[in-house]
Structure 1
Amino acid sequence: MLTGERSVSQTGLDAVALKPKECDVRAALDTPFGTVAIDYEGREHLPDADVLRELSEAKEVRLTTPVRADGFDPTGDDELWEWVPEGVRRVLVAGHAAYLTETERRRAVSPRLAAAIERAPDAWVGTEGIERVALAVGGTQYELLSRSTARDLRALRATGYDGEIAIYAPTVLSDDEDEILDGVGAYAARRRPVAKALPEDAATDARATGRAREVLGKAVRDYALVGSVADVREQVASLKEAGADVVVGYPARGVDEFAE
């Protein structure tokens, strides 16, 4: 349990994101956050409807819905739309290719997002790779933290955009560099600019040395929220000052780090 200045509730984060492949999502009940976003990691890892129902009695639950996937396609096979318990809200996404079949990946995103937002007008819309499409369909824009996020937020607000914006950020509540790299080094290394800058076959965790460690040390701070509770609180405050409404933290070292 984190207490006092080390309490996760002191970070300024608004919600927790959990991966059902990694943990029992009911662990969200042990966190101080009123909202839990549940990632999609393939149909075989969907939480049971009873679990979602139990969570929704205590939290605002947002279930990631890949609109190109069989069962979630609002223009075709939509059997899983009705399976989701009443009261569970959506995060509409195109869907990560790793969790889609070749046929599903070929399906057009735009008409499916538009149809889905009609069914779930209070949904968040994941913007990764489809930023313009997501903005066009409306809804809360759900963006991954990146090195350009603060600048992009300011630019969007400067144009007069007044819709809600949520930011997703892997989070490590530690100022130990090895712990940070073990938690989010590999994640940051998958971002294209970072992958280009890294030496070939370099370690991306605490074993990283030399040029790789230098690149990763900056990259984890571009693509994740890391540091002490006070450090993370300052980073979250900066995002909100730039225009974010909601900041969602994914506990990269396990949900126990977010428990209170």
Structure 2
Amino acid sequence: MLRADATSVVDRTGLDAIALKPTECDVADAASIPADAFAIDYEGREHVPDSDVLETLAANADVRVTTPVRADGYDPLGDDSLVADLPASVGRVAVAGHPAYLTDDERSRAVAPRLGELLETAPDAWVGTESVERIAMATGATQYDLLSRSTERELRALRAAGFDGEIAVYAPTVLSDDEDTILEAVGDYVARRRPVASALPDEDTDHDYDAGATGRTREVLLAAADDYTLVGTEDDVHAQTETLREVGATTVVGYPARGLGRFRK
């Protein structure tokens, strides 16, 4: 909820948490962001922040670290040796794991029994829904969903059907209404979404999805940015986060797609 004083960018946008990508920022720098919660993405075990950094950040905020249940080091039915490095003050986001960060052997491991096992020992963990929506829903844990063009409709349907669990929505966030700035920040991201990729012109062989995009490609990408990300002025983003809460989201997590700087204010 928007705080009464609305003194920071995080407050004014209505975001509940900030997502951090360790390959794109120094996670320790997030301590200067006045946010109540942080979610740290997994980009390979070599990029997991040191435990002392996590503990320092968790001293003043709710911190969650994404851990792929199929990856060695975090596999609750196999090698879970890296779990011991996570401070007790840090929560988990359990995900199947992006194939780019997994070996062939890890990709072949079953997701459902691993999620179930992890939640036995970490019942407060969130569960990432990407590619495993039905399995994630079956766990009853907090759902961690990527914003898409169908998110509002799906949230309304879930609430109408009686689902009363927690639902967190993740979205790249760009605090600008300048088209070139938006495309520079999230053009490649939205182009990778399957419905967007299928809508892009077949003749677009240069894959120019940033500010250089023109014509139909530019139109598709800008429309997709509205569907898959939170973009616009602070007031625009606040209106979007409020709408997500109104239709059923309990937490809105923004990933600063242009870096952390603006969010320190």
Q: TM-score range by the shorter chain?
A: over 0.9
Give the drift of 1:82. Answer: 1.4
Is 1:156 the counterpart of 2:161? The answer is: no
Moved over 4 A (4+): none
Alignment check: 8 A CA contact 2:17 2:39 kept: yes
* Partner residue in 1 for 2:3: none
Q: Which moved more, 1:33-42 or 1:53-62?
A: 53-62
* Partner residue in 2 for 1:56: 58
SS of aligned partner of 2:252: strand
Q: CA offsets per residue over residues 186-216 of structure 1, 9 Å max, x none? A: 1000001111111232411110000101111
Query: What amino acid sits opposite 1:33 in the alignment?
Result: A
Give the drift of 1:29. Answer: 1.2
Alignment check: 8 A CA contact 1:172 1:183 kept: yes
Alignment check: 8 A CA contact 1:126 1:142 kept: yes
Is 1:22 the counterpart of 2:24? The answer is: yes
Alignment check: 8 A CA contact 1:128 1:143 kept: yes
* Partner residue in 2 for 1:142: 144
Alignment check: 8 A CA contact 2:17 2:35 kept: yes
Give the drift of 1:26. Answer: 1.5
Q: How does 1:199-214 map to 2 (within 5 A)?
A: 199=201, 200-201=204-205, 202-214=207-219
Alignment check: 8 A CA contact 2:10 2:35 kept: no
* Partner residue in 1 for 2:14: 12
User: Residues 79, 57 of structure 1: CA spacing in aligned structure 2 closer, same or farther, 3 A cutoff?
Assistant: same
Give the drift of 1:8. Answer: 3.5
Is 1:225 the counterpart of 2:225? The answer is: no
* Partner residue in 1 for 2:167: 165
Give the drift of 1:32. Answer: 1.8
Q: How does 1:13-92 map to 2 (within 5 A)?
A: 13-92=15-94
Give the TM-score taking structure 1 as reference length: 0.97
Alignment check: 8 A CA contact 1:6 1:229 kept: no
State the identity as a percent. 63
For the residues of structure 1 that align with 2:257 and 2:7, how far apart are their CA atoms?
20
Alignment check: 8 A CA contact 1:171 1:225 kept: yes
For the residues of structure 2 that align with 1:80 and 1:176, how far apart are their CA atoms?
42
Give the drift of 1:6. Answer: 8.2
Query: What amino acid sits opposite 1:215 in the alignment?
Result: V
Is 1:256 the counterpart of 2:256? The answer is: no
Give the drift of 1:5. Answer: 8.7
Structure 1 residue runs of 5 or longer lacking an equivalent are none
SS of aligned partner of 2:236: helix
Give the drift of 1:177. Answer: 0.7
SS of aligned partner of 1:157: helix
Alignment check: 8 A CA contact 2:8 2:34 kept: no
Give the drift of 1:54. Answer: 1.0
Is 1:215 the counterpart of 2:220? The answer is: yes
User: Residues 120, 187 of structure 1: CA spacing in aligned structure 2 closer, same or farther, 3 A cutoff?
Assistant: same
For the residues of structure 2 that align with 1:162 and 1:193, how far apart are their CA atoms?
29
Q: Which moved more, 1:53-62 or 1:167-176?
A: 53-62
Q: How many residues align?
A: 258
For the residues of structure 1 that align with 2:68 and 2:61, how far apart are their CA atoms?
22
RMSD: 1.4
Structure 2 residue runs of 5 or longer lacking an equivalent are 1-5
For the residues of structure 2 that align with 1:125 and 1:39, how far apart are their CA atoms?
13
* Partner residue in 1 for 2:120: 118
User: Residues 257, 130 of structure 1: CA spacing in aligned structure 2 closer, same or farther, 3 A cutoff?
Assistant: same
SS of aligned partner of 1:117: helix
Give the drift of 1:257. Answer: 2.1
Query: What amino acid sits opposite 2:216 in the alignment?
Result: R
Query: What amino acid sits opposite 1:115 in the alignment?
Result: E
User: Residues 86, 193 of structure 1: CA spacing in aligned structure 2 closer, same or farther, 3 A cutoff?
Assistant: same
Query: What amino acid sits opposite 1:226 in the alignment?
Result: V
Give the drift of 1:111. Answer: 0.2
